Copies of this chain bind each other. A is one copy, B any other.
């Protein structure tokens, strides 16, 4: 079966499972991973009362309503045996979770373990309300209980067709751009990692994740932060709120503002910033194209003019062609990682 051809037809589980992916016990890593520590914790969040936590929730001698935790953020850390670089926080974009930075869809090493093997303590998060950071089912359950369909939040999950264009895999699903570095043979694995943006159930979308990222920096101390796409703006807010705790900001095809002159002068001249863009964004549709990219170029220019350390890196201009919005899983993802590490060294954030 040609995996690029199944349009709308439902596949059997076995067909999807049979996609070209990593062997079970394999070498997805480029070498052994020796960790001093590895584990998970949560940051941020509040305890609130929910009148509609779903069924069953009745307690003995009580009703179904009760206390739930919302807005918390899941963090997975990998601390290498030999630490030779600052901590690095990896934040995903819309429709994704921290899986963005794990094993690539075609079973190669992702940035999370690669940076750990390069000496960085790595912290991968799931946005508040998404993935292993639970969402709040209350507005959904309440809408049902009160027959108030209009109050149901709109919960987006990127379709393949939409993602294909927005993430610059190709002009129309399922055809890749010529020379694309995306692992097209593993698109079933890739699309398996997309999740609904269930943070819409939390209220002020994004605010909770920024608050949790602030809590994370307060806990682990100064760190490099990589943001991607939707979380580009979160990275900017983080610089505003914790200027002294960001060793460098790497913004992968995310929003770069616009920033006020005051923001630039007071904060962004103090945090080295790299904006990285892939190929095929010029004239592309969707949010990750000309408007955002030109904005990034302008922001980087403004920071430089103000005396800050900032770089706009359009990969095809640097001779690296075919990268997509998901460059952390493209075929040359470790080459891109090496570029980031070289830039971190340049700006003094590697040590």
Contact = CB atoms under 8 A, between A and B. Distances in A.
Nearest to A28: B39
Interface string A298-329: 00000000000000000000000000000000
A167 interface: no
Interface stretch (A193-201, A237-245, A250-258, A335-343): A193-201
Contacts of A41: 21-22, 103, 107, 189
Contacts of A146: 149
A152 interface: yes
A192 B137 contact: no
Contact of A147 (B6, B42, B149, B193): B149
Contacts of A65: 159
Chain A interface SS verdict (over half): loop
A22 B8 contact: no
Given A10-B46, A57-B158, A69 B143 contact: no
A135 B49 contact: no
Given A47-B188, A135-B198, 15 more contacts: A7-B67, A13-B46, A32-B35, A32-B36, A33-B34, A41-B107, A42-B189, A53-B159, A54-B197, A64-B159, A69-B160, A99-B132, A132-B193, A135-B196, A137-B157
